[in-house]
Amino acid sequence: MKIYRGAVLAVVSISLIGCGQSSGEAELSSDLDSPDPTIESAGEQEITPPEENLSLVEEFDLSQDYVDVLKDELTDTTGIQPDNISIPSLEIDTNVVEVGLLEDGSMGVPDTGEEVGWYEPGTMPGATGNSVLAGHVDDRTGPAIFFTLDQIEEGASVYVTDNAGEELEFEVERIASYPYDDAPLNEVFGGTSEQRLNLITCTGTFNRDQGTHEDRLVVYTKLVSSEKESTPPAPPTEIGIQGELLSWHAVRDEAVVGYRIYEVDSEGNEHYISSVSNNERKTFLINDRDKNYVVRTVDVFEQESEDGAFKE
Protein backbone atom coordinates (compact mmCIF):
# COMPACT_ATOMS: atom_id res chain seq x y z
CA MET A 1 0.00 0.00 0.00
CA LYS A 2 1.10 3.52 -0.71
CA ILE A 3 0.45 6.29 1.77
CA TYR A 4 0.52 9.76 0.31
CA ARG A 5 1.73 11.67 3.31
CA GLY A 6 4.58 13.79 1.95
CA ALA A 7 4.29 16.15 -0.98
CA VAL A 8 7.31 18.00 -2.36
CA LEU A 9 8.12 20.90 -0.06
CA ALA A 10 10.75 22.95 -1.78
CA VAL A 11 12.66 25.78 -0.21
CA VAL A 12 10.88 28.32 -2.35
CA SER A 13 9.54 31.77 -2.41
CA ILE A 14 7.06 32.98 -4.96
CA SER A 15 8.93 35.78 -6.62
CA LEU A 16 7.19 37.44 -9.54
CA ILE A 17 7.71 40.71 -11.35
CA GLY A 18 8.00 43.77 -9.12
CA CYS A 19 7.46 42.18 -5.69
CA GLY A 20 11.10 41.94 -4.72
CA GLN A 21 13.47 39.03 -4.34
CA SER A 22 13.43 36.53 -1.51
CA SER A 23 16.43 35.73 0.60
CA GLY A 24 17.24 32.97 3.03
CA GLU A 25 15.09 29.93 3.51
CA ALA A 26 11.49 29.44 2.53
CA GLU A 27 9.74 32.76 2.28
CA LEU A 28 6.41 33.05 0.55
CA SER A 29 7.69 36.15 -1.18
CA SER A 30 5.53 36.33 -4.25
CA ASP A 31 6.15 38.95 -6.85
CA LEU A 32 2.83 38.45 -8.49
CA ASP A 33 2.17 42.00 -9.53
CA SER A 34 4.81 42.48 -11.80
CA PRO A 35 -12.48 -10.48 14.60
CA ASP A 36 -15.09 -11.75 16.91
CA PRO A 37 -16.65 -9.25 19.28
CA THR A 38 -17.39 -9.91 22.94
CA ILE A 39 -21.16 -9.87 23.39
CA GLU A 40 -22.34 -8.66 26.77
CA SER A 41 -25.76 -9.26 28.24
CA ALA A 42 -28.43 -6.70 27.37
CA GLY A 43 -28.55 -5.45 30.91
CA GLU A 44 -24.81 -4.71 30.96
CA GLN A 45 -24.53 -3.17 27.52
CA GLU A 46 -23.48 0.45 27.53
CA ILE A 47 -25.36 2.52 24.96
CA THR A 48 -24.20 6.09 24.51
CA PRO A 49 -24.43 8.41 21.53
CA PRO A 50 -21.17 9.28 19.77
CA GLU A 51 -19.30 12.37 20.82
CA GLU A 52 -19.87 15.44 18.71
CA ASN A 53 -17.63 15.48 15.63
CA LEU A 54 -16.35 11.98 16.35
CA SER A 55 -14.08 10.92 13.50
CA LEU A 56 -14.44 7.69 11.52
CA VAL A 57 -11.10 6.58 12.94
CA GLU A 58 -12.47 6.81 16.48
CA GLU A 59 -16.00 5.63 15.75
CA PHE A 60 -15.03 2.45 13.90
CA ASP A 61 -11.63 1.84 15.53
CA LEU A 62 -9.65 2.37 12.32
CA SER A 63 -6.14 3.62 11.70
CA GLN A 64 -5.72 6.99 10.01
CA ASP A 65 -3.33 5.39 7.51
CA TYR A 66 -6.02 2.87 6.54
CA VAL A 67 -8.57 5.64 5.96
CA ASP A 68 -6.11 7.72 3.94
CA VAL A 69 -5.04 4.80 1.75
CA LEU A 70 -8.62 3.64 1.16
CA LYS A 71 -9.71 7.13 0.12
CA ASP A 72 -6.72 7.31 -2.19
CA GLU A 73 -7.55 3.97 -3.80
CA LEU A 74 -11.19 4.94 -4.35
CA THR A 75 -10.57 8.33 -5.91
CA ASP A 76 -8.65 9.40 -8.97
CA THR A 77 -5.46 10.86 -7.48
CA THR A 78 -3.27 10.86 -10.58
CA GLY A 79 -3.91 14.53 -11.29
CA ILE A 80 -3.77 16.40 -14.59
CA GLN A 81 -1.25 18.68 -16.26
CA PRO A 82 -3.07 22.03 -16.18
CA ASP A 83 -3.58 23.90 -19.42
CA ASN A 84 -6.37 26.31 -18.45
CA ILE A 85 -7.92 27.81 -15.32
CA SER A 86 -11.42 29.23 -15.11
CA ILE A 87 -13.10 31.06 -12.22
CA PRO A 88 -16.61 31.91 -13.45
CA SER A 89 -17.55 34.11 -10.48
CA LEU A 90 -14.61 36.42 -11.28
CA GLU A 91 -14.86 36.08 -15.08
CA ILE A 92 -11.33 34.66 -15.17
CA ASP A 93 -10.48 32.26 -17.98
CA THR A 94 -6.87 31.91 -19.09
CA ASN A 95 -4.09 29.48 -19.97
CA VAL A 96 -1.71 27.92 -17.45
CA VAL A 97 2.04 27.66 -18.03
CA GLU A 98 4.64 25.63 -16.18
CA VAL A 99 7.03 27.42 -13.85
CA GLY A 100 9.78 25.99 -11.68
CA LEU A 101 12.47 27.06 -9.27
CA LEU A 102 14.82 29.90 -10.07
CA GLU A 103 18.49 29.85 -9.11
CA ASP A 104 17.80 31.85 -5.96
CA GLY A 105 15.25 29.26 -4.80
CA SER A 106 12.21 31.35 -5.66
CA MET A 107 9.28 30.18 -7.73
CA GLY A 108 9.34 31.05 -11.41
CA VAL A 109 6.76 33.42 -12.86
CA PRO A 110 4.56 33.67 -15.95
CA ASP A 111 6.00 35.84 -18.71
CA THR A 112 2.85 37.96 -18.97
CA GLY A 113 0.25 39.33 -16.61
CA GLU A 114 -2.49 37.37 -18.38
CA GLU A 115 -1.11 33.89 -17.70
CA VAL A 116 -1.14 31.77 -14.55
CA GLY A 117 1.88 29.73 -13.51
CA TRP A 118 1.70 26.17 -12.19
CA TYR A 119 4.53 25.15 -9.86
CA GLU A 120 5.57 22.09 -11.88
CA PRO A 121 8.07 20.54 -9.40
CA GLY A 122 5.16 20.18 -7.00
CA THR A 123 1.80 18.40 -7.13
CA MET A 124 -0.40 18.15 -10.22
CA PRO A 125 -3.95 19.50 -9.77
CA GLY A 126 -6.21 16.65 -8.69
CA ALA A 127 -3.40 14.57 -7.22
CA THR A 128 -3.00 14.01 -3.50
CA GLY A 129 -1.17 17.00 -2.08
CA ASN A 130 -1.05 20.78 -2.45
CA SER A 131 -0.93 21.99 -6.04
CA VAL A 132 0.03 25.64 -6.44
CA LEU A 133 -0.99 28.15 -9.13
CA ALA A 134 0.23 31.74 -9.02
CA GLY A 135 -0.70 34.81 -11.04
CA HIS A 136 0.12 38.52 -11.21
CA VAL A 137 -2.18 41.04 -9.55
CA ASP A 138 -0.93 43.81 -11.85
CA ASP A 139 1.94 44.70 -14.13
CA ARG A 140 3.40 47.78 -15.81
CA THR A 141 0.31 48.15 -18.01
CA GLY A 142 -2.29 47.89 -15.24
CA PRO A 143 -4.46 45.16 -13.67
CA ALA A 144 -3.37 41.56 -14.36
CA ILE A 145 -5.16 38.19 -14.34
CA PHE A 146 -5.54 37.87 -10.54
CA PHE A 147 -6.41 41.53 -9.93
CA THR A 148 -9.85 40.55 -8.58
CA LEU A 149 -8.79 37.37 -6.78
CA ASP A 150 -9.30 39.06 -3.42
CA GLN A 151 -13.02 39.28 -4.26
CA ILE A 152 -13.48 35.51 -4.49
CA GLU A 153 -15.90 34.03 -1.97
CA GLU A 154 -15.94 30.79 -0.01
CA GLY A 155 -17.84 28.12 -1.95
CA ALA A 156 -16.86 29.54 -5.34
CA SER A 157 -15.81 27.05 -8.02
CA VAL A 158 -12.39 26.95 -9.67
CA TYR A 159 -12.02 24.80 -12.79
CA VAL A 160 -8.72 23.44 -14.09
CA THR A 161 -8.56 21.72 -17.49
CA ASP A 162 -5.79 19.81 -19.29
CA ASN A 163 -5.07 19.98 -23.02
CA ALA A 164 -7.24 16.90 -23.64
CA GLY A 165 -10.29 18.60 -22.14
CA GLU A 166 -10.40 16.78 -18.80
CA GLU A 167 -11.80 19.19 -16.23
CA LEU A 168 -11.49 19.19 -12.45
CA GLU A 169 -13.62 21.32 -10.15
CA PHE A 170 -12.25 22.76 -6.91
CA GLU A 171 -14.24 24.60 -4.25
CA VAL A 172 -12.91 27.56 -2.30
CA GLU A 173 -12.72 26.73 1.41
CA ARG A 174 -11.01 29.83 2.78
CA ILE A 175 -9.03 32.92 1.85
CA ALA A 176 -6.07 34.22 3.84
CA SER A 177 -3.63 37.11 3.65
CA TYR A 178 -0.11 36.98 5.07
CA PRO A 179 2.88 39.36 5.31
CA TYR A 180 5.08 38.75 2.28
CA ASP A 181 7.92 37.47 4.46
CA ASP A 182 5.85 35.47 6.95
CA ALA A 183 3.51 33.12 5.07
CA PRO A 184 2.99 29.45 6.11
CA LEU A 185 5.04 27.81 3.37
CA ASN A 186 4.35 24.28 4.59
CA GLU A 187 0.62 24.92 4.55
CA VAL A 188 0.76 26.17 0.98
CA PHE A 189 3.29 23.75 -0.56
CA GLY A 190 3.63 20.96 2.01
CA GLY A 191 2.25 17.46 2.36
CA THR A 192 -1.42 16.62 2.82
CA SER A 193 -3.54 13.50 2.33
CA GLU A 194 -6.19 15.60 0.54
CA GLN A 195 -6.44 16.84 -3.04
CA ARG A 196 -5.92 20.58 -2.81
CA LEU A 197 -5.24 23.54 -5.09
CA ASN A 198 -3.88 26.82 -3.73
CA LEU A 199 -4.02 30.09 -5.70
CA ILE A 200 -1.55 32.85 -4.89
CA THR A 201 -1.17 36.50 -5.74
CA CYS A 202 0.02 39.77 -4.19
CA THR A 203 -2.22 42.03 -2.13
CA GLY A 204 -1.94 45.02 0.16
CA THR A 205 0.02 48.22 -0.28
CA PHE A 206 2.89 48.37 -2.72
CA ASN A 207 6.11 49.17 -0.82
CA ARG A 208 8.35 51.09 -3.20
CA ASP A 209 11.38 50.80 -0.93
CA GLN A 210 11.16 47.00 -0.93
CA GLY A 211 9.80 46.81 -4.47
CA THR A 212 6.96 44.52 -3.45
CA HIS A 213 3.40 44.42 -2.17
CA GLU A 214 3.33 44.00 1.58
CA ASP A 215 1.05 40.96 1.69
CA ARG A 216 0.38 37.69 -0.10
CA LEU A 217 -3.14 36.43 -0.78
CA VAL A 218 -3.69 32.65 -0.69
CA VAL A 219 -6.97 31.07 -1.79
CA TYR A 220 -7.26 27.51 -0.45
CA THR A 221 -9.45 25.14 -2.47
CA LYS A 222 -10.27 21.44 -2.35
CA LEU A 223 -11.22 19.02 -5.12
CA VAL A 224 -14.97 18.51 -5.38
CA SER A 225 -16.10 14.97 -4.61
CA SER A 226 -15.43 12.35 -7.25
CA GLU A 227 -18.31 10.31 -8.70
CA LYS A 228 -17.42 7.42 -6.39
CA GLU A 229 -17.32 9.66 -3.34
CA SER A 230 -20.55 11.49 -4.14
CA THR A 231 -22.62 8.29 -4.39
CA PRO A 232 -23.90 7.20 -0.96
CA PRO A 233 -23.42 3.54 -0.05
CA ALA A 234 -26.22 0.99 -0.39
CA PRO A 235 -28.25 0.17 2.73
CA PRO A 236 -27.75 -3.19 4.46
CA THR A 237 -30.16 -6.01 3.66
CA GLU A 238 -31.78 -8.96 5.45
CA ILE A 239 -32.21 -7.05 8.70
CA GLY A 240 -33.92 -9.14 11.34
CA ILE A 241 -34.13 -10.03 15.02
CA GLN A 242 -33.59 -13.43 16.56
CA GLY A 243 -34.03 -13.45 20.29
CA GLU A 244 -32.21 -10.34 21.46
CA LEU A 245 -29.82 -10.19 18.51
CA LEU A 246 -30.28 -7.71 15.69
CA SER A 247 -28.45 -8.85 12.54
CA TRP A 248 -28.03 -7.82 8.91
CA HIS A 249 -26.11 -8.73 5.77
CA ALA A 250 -22.96 -6.80 4.93
CA VAL A 251 -22.85 -4.43 1.97
CA ARG A 252 -20.25 -5.62 -0.55
CA ASP A 253 -18.55 -2.33 -1.22
CA GLU A 254 -14.87 -1.68 -0.53
CA ALA A 255 -15.68 1.87 0.57
CA VAL A 256 -17.79 0.68 3.53
CA VAL A 257 -16.20 1.10 6.97
CA GLY A 258 -19.14 0.22 9.23
CA TYR A 259 -22.78 0.54 10.22
CA ARG A 260 -24.80 2.78 12.55
CA ILE A 261 -27.77 1.46 14.50
CA TYR A 262 -30.73 3.62 15.48
CA GLU A 263 -33.67 2.87 17.77
CA VAL A 264 -37.04 4.26 16.66
CA ASP A 265 -39.44 5.46 19.34
CA SER A 266 -43.24 5.38 19.24
CA GLU A 267 -43.34 8.79 17.55
CA GLY A 268 -40.99 7.72 14.80
CA ASN A 269 -37.96 9.60 16.12
CA GLU A 270 -34.61 7.91 15.60
CA HIS A 271 -32.03 7.68 18.39
CA TYR A 272 -28.48 6.57 17.71
CA ILE A 273 -27.44 3.63 19.90
CA SER A 274 -24.25 2.13 18.46
CA SER A 275 -21.74 1.72 15.63
CA VAL A 276 -20.40 -1.59 14.33
CA SER A 277 -17.18 -1.75 12.33
CA ASN A 278 -17.17 -3.52 8.98
CA ASN A 279 -14.61 -6.02 10.29
CA GLU A 280 -16.93 -7.12 13.13
CA ARG A 281 -19.89 -9.48 13.05
CA LYS A 282 -22.96 -7.79 11.60
CA THR A 283 -24.94 -8.19 14.82
CA PHE A 284 -25.94 -6.09 17.81
CA LEU A 285 -27.46 -7.05 21.16
CA ILE A 286 -30.64 -5.00 21.65
CA ASN A 287 -32.41 -3.99 24.84
CA ASP A 288 -36.01 -4.26 23.64
CA ARG A 289 -37.03 -6.58 20.81
CA ASP A 290 -40.45 -4.96 20.56
CA LYS A 291 -39.03 -1.68 19.30
CA ASN A 292 -38.20 -0.70 15.73
CA TYR A 293 -34.63 -0.38 14.53
CA VAL A 294 -32.80 1.17 11.61
CA VAL A 295 -29.34 0.16 10.37
CA ARG A 296 -27.43 2.37 7.97
CA THR A 297 -24.21 1.79 6.05
CA VAL A 298 -21.34 4.27 6.47
CA ASP A 299 -18.49 4.66 3.95
CA VAL A 300 -14.97 6.05 4.18
CA PHE A 301 -16.17 9.39 2.81
CA GLU A 302 -18.45 9.76 5.88
CA GLN A 303 -21.58 9.24 3.80
CA GLU A 304 -24.53 7.38 5.30
CA SER A 305 -26.96 5.17 3.36
CA GLU A 306 -30.71 5.31 3.43
CA ASP A 307 -32.52 3.24 6.07
CA GLY A 308 -31.63 -0.43 5.91
CA ALA A 309 -34.98 -1.56 7.31
CA PHE A 310 -37.41 -1.29 10.17
CA LYS A 311 -38.27 -4.14 12.48
CA GLU A 312 -42.06 -3.98 12.59
Domain ranges of the chain: 13-35+74-225, 231-312
Strands (E), 162-280: 167-179, 195-207, 212-223, 237-242, 245-249, 256-264, 270-277
Q: What confidence tens digit (pLDDT) does each residue in 77-98 have?
A: 789 999 999 999 999 999 999 9
pLDDT at 33: 46
- What is the Cα–Cα distance from 297 to 295, expressed in whole angstroms? 7
**Is domain 13-35+74-225 annotated with CATH 3.40.1190.20?**
no
The pTM (predicted TM-score) of the whole model is: 0.63
pLDDT at 309: 58
pLDDT at 219: 97
Q: Residue 300 pLDDT > 50, yes or no?
A: yes
- Residue predicted with more confidence, 4 or 53: 53
Residue 64: beta bridge partners?
none
pLDDT bin (cut points 50, 70, 90) of residue 157 is: very high
pLDDT bin (cut points 50, 70, 90) of residue 45 is: very low
Say if CB 260 and CB 295 are below 8 A apart.
yes
pLDDT at 24: 33
Mean pLDDT score of the chain: 81
pLDDT at 140: 78
Computed from CA positions of residues 233, 71, 275, 240, in that sequence, does the dihedral angle turn out positive or negative? positive
Q: Residue 110 pLDDT > 70, yes or no?
A: yes
Q: Residue 60 pLDDT > 50, yes or no?
A: yes
Q: Residue 252 pLDDT > 80, yes or no?
A: yes
Instruction: Please give the share of the chain, as a percent, with pLDDT higher than 70.
Output: 78
- Residue predicted with more confidence, 210 or 287: 287
**Is domain 231-312 annotated with CATH 2.70.98.60?**
no
pLDDT at 183: 80
Read off the pLDDT of each residue in 253-274 and give the average, rounded to a whole number.
92
**34-48, 102-116, 200-214: which is most confident:** 102-116
Say if CB 193 and CB 71 are below 8 A apart.
yes
pLDDT at 27: 44
